[in-house]
Amino acid sequence: MTTTLPSDPTLDEIRVALAPMIAVHAGFDGWSAAALARAAEEAGVDPDIAALAFPGGAVDMIDGWFGAVDVAMASSLPAPALAAMKIRDRIAALVMARIAAVAPHRDALRRALAILAMPANLARGMQLGWRAADAMWRLAGDTATDYNHYSKRAILSGVYGGTMLVMLDDDSEDLAETRTFLDRRIDGIMRFERAKGRLLARRDHLPSLSRFIGRLRYPAV
């Protein structure tokens, strides 16, 4: 999840390169200036310049790390591999790819979630959760633009967040407990989607009240 810096990097390039390196140190040092300084030293970046890449401090560092997770997830599941899967399996694979990217840094993740749970950071935390869900749905091939676009992302954001919390305390081999939890949640979503589809289908066949009233006012000649 690290990125090699060019000889004359921009602040954006420094941010992309350092964010996952900061996560390595954040488990011990927290999402702090100390963790940033350690990462900058390893990357050969002046600490003062590195600080400019994260003007928002800890929250910007966490944001950068989660962005690196987006990249790692997409790299581990190229489009041809996803296209061969059913939609349910695509979502499960994408969630587990994100879990695999953060699992080696559980302490850093715990600290990150604690920071995002602070009242001043709640909106930013929700934004990051939404961004993760949007990235997963887009990789899964979702092209919805109606209310389904928003409902799918809201539901997946909750599923992903819950799965991360399970992973934090999962000592089972190959994260078996986390996978089981995720499978149950996705099964629940699929049942909901099927029920919603049946409900919408029935609604489409119901008589239209507006057409009925129109006929009362303007009877056919």
- Looking at residue 217, what is its pLDDT? 56
Tell me the C-alpha distance between 167 and 174, whole Å. Answer: 11
Q: Which long-range contacts (CB under 8 A, 24 or more apart) does 122-126 make?
A: 124/59, 124/63
The predicted-structure confidence for 151-186, as pLDDT tens digits, reads as follows 889 999 999 999 999 999 999 999 999 999 999 999
The predicted-structure confidence for 54-100, as pLDDT tens digits, reads as follows 999 999 999 999 999 999 999 999 999 999 999 999 999 999 999 99
Percentage of the chain modeled with pLDDT above 90: 74
Q: What are the CA-CA distances from residue 10 to residues 7, 32, 53, 163 (Å)?
A: 10, 22, 9, 35
Give the number of other CB atoms < 10 A from CB of residue 134. 18
Contact predicate 186/88, CB 8 Å: yes
- Residue ranges of alpha helices (H) inside the chain are 11-29, 33-43, 47-52, 58-76, 79-83, 87-102, 106-116, 122-140, 147-168, 176-204, 209-217
Contact predicate 25/34, CB 8 Å: yes
Q: What is the pTM of this model?
A: 0.84
Give the number of other CB atoms < 10 A from CB of residue 54. 23
Q: Which long-range contacts (CB under 8 A, 24 or more apart) does 118-126 make?
A: 121/59, 124/59, 124/63
- Which fold, 56-204? Tetracycline Repressor; domain 2 (1.10.357)
pLDDT category of residue 148 using cuts at 50, 70 and 90: confident
Side-chain half-sphere of 105: how many Cα atoms within 13 Å? Answer: 26
Residue extents of the structural domains in the chain: 56-204
Contact predicate 43/21, CB 8 Å: yes
CA dihedral sign, ordered 209, 213, 218, 221: positive
Tokens for 162, please give them. Answer: 């819950």
Tokens for 103, please give them. Answer: 């699992």
Tokens for 174, please give them. Answer: 């190959």
Residue 11 has pLDDT above 80, yes or no: yes
